[in-house]
Amino acid sequence: MLAMTVSGGSLTAAQVPEPAPGPDEVLIEVAAAGVNRADLLQVAGHYPPPQGAPAWPGLEVSGTIVDVGSADNATLLGAEVCALLPGGGYAQYVAVDAGLVLPTPENVDLVEAAGLPEAAATVYSNLGYLLGQDAPGKRRVLVHGGAGGVGTFAVQFARKLADAETWTTARAEHAKKLEALGADRVVDYRSEDFAALAQEAGGADAILDVIGAAYFEPNLKALAQDGRLAIIGLQQGNAAQIHLGGLLAKRATITGTTLRARPLEQRRQILAEVFERVWPALDTGDVKPVVTTRLPLGDAAEAHRLMNAGGHFGKIVLTAK
């Protein structure tokens, strides 16, 4: 089969053996693969795949189940699905644990479904505690990088599922599109001080951050009392100093997470909860994947160039056909 392999820090199309599903796995004929910033890091040699995963990138796909590793999963044959992967999505076929597979939502195109698993699982695993939480007054959530694949999903999640006042940082030209997704306030990070604005408004109860070190201190300033900062990316640095006095005074909670390094059972549990608590909103169309660019699998390098250049809105997916 064709896969986009990594050679010398670049992507190269190559023929590789088609995978065979293990006892707990299914084989998916890939319709599309979502492109994530972690893929760029892997190609650059900074984010190696976990043991046992294919050597080429791809953390999420959509497609059709064409084989199963055991009779226990025989009922899944022919199902149109999307899946969360430890790697290997940039290919025509991929084998994945059946517990990491979800049905394509009713109101979502099969190709666009490739942009769902990584964003949905990342957002839910960091902001899912807000769902059904009986909190007095309106909570405020600040999503950094609102125009990105995770950001566009997080804005919808915070506003439409958690019923939170939703702020996001993004370029001014993306403001109207983010407001259409549910953002109450779009802060232009190039000309506005999000920390000062959040402080004036009473602070953010939850912050989802993809930036890392450059935003660490302003994030602490932006937090409300008992606020929670979830760091899920390091786009602008991985080393920061912390003022412990400010942390104590705000009773703040800081977490740092990645997804694919979690044990398999944790990833299965996250996907099961995503299916129960998030998928109904995708079925009804209240929440939607925001896929704005489709490129052929062979143009994966161009997809990476677009993402690396910045300023792109929504998800980029690679189509296998």
pLDDT of residue 194: 97
**pLDDT for residue 134:** 60
Q: Which residues contact 285 (CB under 8 A, 6 or more apart)?
A: 107
- pLDDT in the model for residue 181: 98
pLDDT at position 135? 59
Contacts of 233 (CB under 8 A, 6+ apart): 37, 145, 209, 210, 211, 212
pLDDT for the residue numbered 269: 98
Domains of the chain, first to last? 2-115+289-319 (3.90.180.10), 120-256 (3.40.50.720)
End-to-end CA, the chain: 13
pLDDT along the chain (321 residues), means of 10: 94 96 97 97 92 95 98 96 98 98 97 98 95 74 97 97 96 97 97 97 96 90 95 79 80 90 96 98 97 97 95 96 83
Listed in sequence order, the residues at least 6 apart from 267 whose beta carbon sits closer than 8 Å to its beta carbon are 84, 99, 100, 121, 259, 260
Beta strand ranges found along the chain (DSSP E)? 2-7, 10-15, 25-34, 60-68, 80-84, 93-97, 101-103, 140-143, 165-170, 185-188, 204-209, 223-231, 253-256, 291-296, 315-319
Whole-number pLDDT of residue 212: 83
pTM of the predicted structure, to 2 decimals:
0.95
